[in-house]
Amino acid sequence: MRAVIFDFDGVVAERGFRAALRALAGRRALDYPPLPGLAMQALVDSGYVTGRGSEQAWWQLLQERLGPLGDCGQFRGELLAASRVRPWQLALAARLATAGHVTAVLSDHTDWLDEIEHAQPFAHAFGRVFNSYYLGACKRETAAFTAVLEALDVAPAQAVFIDDNPDNVARAAALGITGIVYREREAFVADLERALGGTPAGRVA
């Protein structure tokens, strides 16, 4: 394996998007379980997740579908605060790079990721960071994965992709990429070591 590609929200960092949605559900008496899917669909439909729309357009669309939601600035602040970068993942990425692996982040994020980077620098730990907002494609599209593979100059069979969303992992696997669904730290480290052929790189975690 030459490349290890990480999701951001829920893998490199805590689930900030979901945490902010849970807080929103509490304030507005919304049913939480369907909310992440609805909010993500609005990100796609508004174009915000692929840089073709704005935060304002996304929030407006979400309100059209769910009713008044209050101040988007409050939601953004809660998302940024909850998106706590995991230091052990940065250390793992550094160890992988030292072992000769190409490392990258592939995130279905928006310009919020720039604000997270400003507050909690993480990009330095990875060879590349691919944000759907700038990539112009999200992980619901094969194009996102093929663009990353081309940029890293690796074949699908040479890459491992880690995401906490099983659907994203399945799409990567359909291209021939080795996929790992992130659930919790210990199982992830074991899964990664197996994918890398028993390399000790993961033991830093």
Write the DSSP string, 128-173: EEEEHHHHS--TTSHHHHHHHHHHHT--GGGEEEEES-HHHHHHHH
Nearest to 49 by CA among 111, 141, 99, 104: 111
For the chain, what is the radius of gyration of the CA atoms?
Answer: 17
Q: pLDDT digits over 138-167, tens only?
A: 999 999 999 999 999 999 999 999 999 999
Q: Residue for token digits 């290890």?
A: 4
Q: Which residues pair with 58 in a beta bridge?
A: none
Evaluate whether 97 touches 127 at the Cβ level (below 8 Å): yes
Instruction: Give residue-wise pLDDT tens across range 3-40.
Output: 999 999 999 999 999 999 999 999 999 999 999 999 99
3-state secondary structure of 6: strand
pLDDT tens, position by position, 94-143: 999 999 999 999 999 999 999 999 999 999 999 999 999 999 999 999 99
Residue 198's pLDDT band (cuts 50, 70, 90): confident
What CATH architecture applies to the domain 3-14+84-204?
A: 3-Layer(aba) Sandwich (3.40)
Q: Which pLDDT value is given to residue 205?
A: 52
Q: CA 17, CA 11: separation in Å to the nearest integer?
A: 12
CB 105 within 8 A of CB 121: no
The answer to whether 126 touches 158, Cβ cutoff 8 Å, is: no
Global pTM exceeds 0.85: yes
